[in-house]
Structures are given as structure tokens and as C-alpha cells.
Structure 1
Amino acid sequence: QVIKCKAAVLWELNKPFSIEEVEVAPPKAHEVRIKTKEYVQYNPSETKKNLCGGSAVKNLPANTGNVEESVLSSSPGDKVIPLFIPQCGKCNVCKHPEANLCLKFQLKEPRGTLNDGTCRFTCRGKPIHHFLGTSTFTQYTVVDEMSVAKIHADSPLEKVCLIGCGFSTGYGSAVKIAKVTQGSTCAVFGLGGVGLSVIMGCKAAGAARIIAVDINKDKFARAKQVGATECINPQDYEKPIEEVLKEVSGGGVDFSFEVIGRLDTMMSALLCCQEAYGVSVIVGVPPHAQNISMNPMLLLTGRTWKGAIFGGFKSKESVPKLVTDFMAKKFSLDQLITHVLPLEKINEGFDLLRSGMSVRTILTF
């Protein structure tokens, strides 16, 4: 049956969300309709262009939503987390042991639909597009079976929702993509929710020094709480930040992470790495339709420049394992959650995020 429920709908780019009543069609074959319980927003310093008017929201009107959320399955009662990167298990990428960018993923060419090319939302008689196959600013949503992961029945939804995107992206960038080593020195550019998660991953991997870099000094205390050993504000120096980092690390850091999405900081993160063996990972989403120029000698000497989405984790199989690790107290998520708001205050939540006053905001339903 069709379900009528409350949802936040984005009718125009760069405009506030509107709370509407939407109609949610029943799932088709290989789809799941789920009831949303809690939801966490992106940090705008990392990915605001995707939610507030960028390339990932090009089909409007759209029932847009982040993928960092915890939900309760509407039929069997299972707790699940929707996945913005699906895992079909059949394509060449899914079969590759080190890759996770399933060929069903819609980020490069978002269609605003489920896998069969159609939508499940209607509002005011108009079809409402899906956001990256999830759409979770709504009391009910429909996702493809390959885009949902069942999690531990006792997991606290208000915390493990972070594992749906931001935490896993940062944590995995350190432990899985960079493969941070025991006793190493790391530099993390950008101290939003994902950047803090990178720091947590570096600490878990045994890094001896974790240098946090940001122009907002208000973020330094929290960065140290999650594992940073020192914090640097580039505005405090007259020389480029990469030179500062090379000096304080004795020639260059072992691992660096760009978690902002700026071309200039991507270059700084690469340049601050030890030229013979440093590894730099791009985590932040870069500006749309912009390119970066670099001298190939920066890599020929031995540096490695890498990138990955969702921390390189295969979504459907890795998310349940990460939730289990959380339940086993292998990491904490408390320091990443700063605000809790009802769905009706969604626009206030985005204001908090844009102002830098929050790390992660949970929306409740």
C-alpha cells in the first residue's frame, strides 16, 4: 500500500527545505521500504555542494537526504543502514578484493531514481527524485536491496547512524586506504566530522604523531580529544603550510589526508608528504568541473597519491562489521555528535553546520 508521511523536500537549489506530506509507493522486487528512526547530516565544509545545490542534486524536486542514518525495517523489524554506495556483488568492482565503487553507484551521473529508473515518492502530484538511491529526510523511504545493510539488533540507532557515511569515510581512509603504520606521523587537513574520523583511524592504527590542520582554532580541542597530538593553524605562519609541516616532521609526514575538498589544500597535503615514501589521500569532495595541475616529479620521487569513497569499505559487508566493532567498544562516536534536532528544524541544522558550530547533527523523527 501507498504510505503518506512527512518529509523534507528540496524544490529548488540553494533554497530551504520544505516540510511536506509525501506519498511513498510500496517496494518493487528486490527493494525494501524502511521506516526512518534517526538521521545524521553531512558537515558542509566537506560536502555541502552535494546537499545544497551541487552536482549530486541535479534532478529536482528532490527528496534529498544524507546516507548517515539508522532505520528500522518496516516489514521484518530488522535494524538497517541504507547505503549510498550499493554493493551488487556481481560487477567487476564488487568482485575485486580491494575495490568498493560498485558500478551501480550513481554519484558521477545521478539519475534521481532507484535502480529500475523510477521514483517511489510523490508530492503535490509531482514525482520526487531520490538522492543517491537512499533519500532519508522522510519518515519512510524505499531503497534497492543492494543498498541496505542489516546491523546488530541491539545497536543504538542514534549513534551507529554515523557509520552510514562520515565516520566510515574518514576512519577507512586511514586504516584501509592509507594503511597508516605503527609509530608513523600523519597530517589531517580539515577538522569536520570526517576529518575527526580520520584522526580516530590514525590513532587506531598506532600513529605516533597526528597533526591536525585547520583555520578554525575552535576545532582544536575536539581534535585532541579524538586523538590529535598537535594542532596547526596555517594562518599563524607566513610560509606555506606544507613547508611548516615538513619542518615540524623532519622532512615530511608519512601520511597526509585532505578532508576539505579544496584544490589548494589537496596540493599542500601532497607536498607535505615525505618525497620518497609519503602517502597522501584525497578524502574531501573536490569542486565540480575543476582540475588540478601538478608536476609529475612530485610522484616520480616515490610519493603515492590516492583517493577513495566511503573509506574504501565494501558497503553491504563492511557496515555490519563496523557496527559490531562499535558495540565491542573498539571506537567511540560520542565526540562526533554535537546536536540533536527534530526533522521540522532541518534548516536550522544546516545553518549550524554551515556556521561551523556543529560537527554532526542528528535529526529525529
Structure 2
Amino acid sequence: MKRLWGIALAVVLLVGVVFAVVRGRSGEAASPDLETVRGVIGSEKLAFFADQRVRDAFARHGLKVEVDPAGSRQIANSVDLNRYDFAFPSSAPAAEQIQRARGAGRTYAPFSSPMVIATFDPIVSLLTAQGVVRPGQVFDVAKYLELTAAETRWDQLPGNTAYPARKNVLVTTTDPRDSNSAAMYLAITSFVANGGVVASPEAEAKVLPAVGKLFLEQGYTQSTSDGPFEDYLSTGMGKTPMVLAYEAQFVDRVVRGDSTIRPGMTLLYPSPTVLSKHTLVPLRPSGDKVGELLTTDADLGKLAATFGFRTADPRYFDQVVKEHGVAVPETVVDVVEPPSYETLERMLEAIGKLY
């Protein structure tokens, strides 16, 4: 009997040791003394912060990071930031506004994602014949605006048997009244229409008639970037021949081996394009720790790359896309800056009044 009790005790001790080791492998579970840090983030980063590997990486530095998602414009305009230790919108203009309003000493931009056109091989062929698409996955925005100014329909393109739809050649976007990606589209198209960054009321008045039509003539638009991108994936070319997206959305799906990415789907890079620069604004010292770790910690950088983000250290993203055979340019060259927050907001409000 004593021997049986001895064996039982040994088993209990062994189970306890194994449990402790397993808990120890998860930094978050290993210590009840983690400092809780709360942030409000652009919704595109929600899956990243929810990933257990990311939570563990923060826990190894003594942090438990809790986040709430919101639109980047909402974060800058209407979210009660007093509840949070950091704000992490998906655009530099929104972060700039928050930094000024809150008197933040610095910001962090640990990763970014260029705006892209997600489309299909037959559409690429049609637009190549029109000079809109050039070699190297380039989408010439100036040539595209020539087509939209003439209100060209798909079925009016010469020799078009692949997609003879009776609707205008337009990129599908989100609602400019709600979404950061639509604001980035406005930044791109207004730059081309103006011949440079829009920086005055006169320039705003000059470009608004042309760029406003790019939104209004789409009809109904969705409020988040997931909506039109899911349409692109699920309904295909018929409904959504071209959709404005974040490069990270497409790369993330490929890396995960998602079956909704099918042969014939491809990315084009607007020329010029803008970066959705995910910019963290610390509101308290603990938020500053999060920004510092996201920028410098190798584990967090590598994990961000697996979610499709271009990281502060480009090696992480380069390795991920090479491993998974994702056809993206190593460097996006023709990148311009968006207008200031105030200018962008005035243009968005003016377009919103036209609906």
C-alpha cells in the first residue's frame, strides 16, 4: 500500500511539473503580475493582437495587451481616448491629429501596407490594352482617370469578350464617410487630379468634382474594407472586377493557405499609391512600451509579417512572401504622401454631403 501511495504521489508531482512547464511556455499564463495595457486599434490589426503567439510575445515583456477595434477616423474624431493607453489607427493623418490633440511626444510606425487593386487576369489583359496597366503590376491612375472622366463602360472597351459588363469602369471602394481605405483612395486620386498633394481650399475645389464621382457612381458602398474584399473573394469578377484593398489582406490569405485565393486572382499597384501607415500614438507610458516593442522586438516583427504587413525590418516580410510564393514587388517605389488630416477631412465631408 505504501508503495502504491508513493507511486500516486510521484504521478501527482509529475503532472504538476508538466503543467508548470506548459504554463511557463506561455508568457501570458506564466505570471499573474502582467501589466494590462489597453489600446484602440484599426480593425485590420484585430486578428494580429488576438493571436496567442502575439499575446505570449508581449507577456514575455510583462504586458497583457487588450484592444478594442474602431475605424481610424473614429479613433481620431469620436472615440474617448481617456480610456486607453495607446491609439493605433491605420493611417498617418489620423495619428497626426491624435498626436497633436493629446500632446504626445512621439509616435511609432512598426508596420505598413500599400494600397492595391485586387483584380483578375482577364481584367488585367483588358486594361493593359488600354494603357492603364503596365508591366510590373503597375496600375496607371492617370490613365484610369481618363477612362472614368469619359464614363467608359466595360462593354465599350475594344475587343472585350472577357468581361462585357454594362457598367462603368470603376474600382470598388468602401464608403468615404466611414472608412480609412476610402480616404486613402481619395488621397491617391486627388494627388493625380491635382498634379500633387492637395494642400489648399482652391485645390480641393478643383479636384472634388472628378474624384467625388469615383465614389458616387459606385452606388452602395460598404463601411469596412473587409466587405468589398470578401465580395472579391466569394463572388468573383462578375460583381467586383476591381477592388481597392490593403496588400496585407491578400498576403495574409495566401500565407494562411486560404482556398478563397484562387488562380487568376492578382494584385496591381496604383501609380502613385499611398501607404496605410499603421501608426501608434502612446497616450500613457505603458502605451509607449507597446510601441517600442512592436518596432524593435524580432518575434513581434516576424509575426506581423505573417499577417501580411510590411515591417520596420523588411527582411521579415520578404522572407514570408518568398516562402509562400506571393507575387508582390520587393519595394513599392511610387509612393506619395496623403494630404494633411484637415484637408482630407474637408474633402471627405464634402463628398459625404453629395450622397
Which structure's residues are more often helix, by fraction?
A: 2
Q: Is TM > 0.5 for Structure 1 vs Structure 2?
A: no
Which is higher, the Rg of structure 1 or of structure 2?
Answer: 2
Which structure's residues are more often strand, by fraction?
A: 1
TM-score (norm 1): 0.28
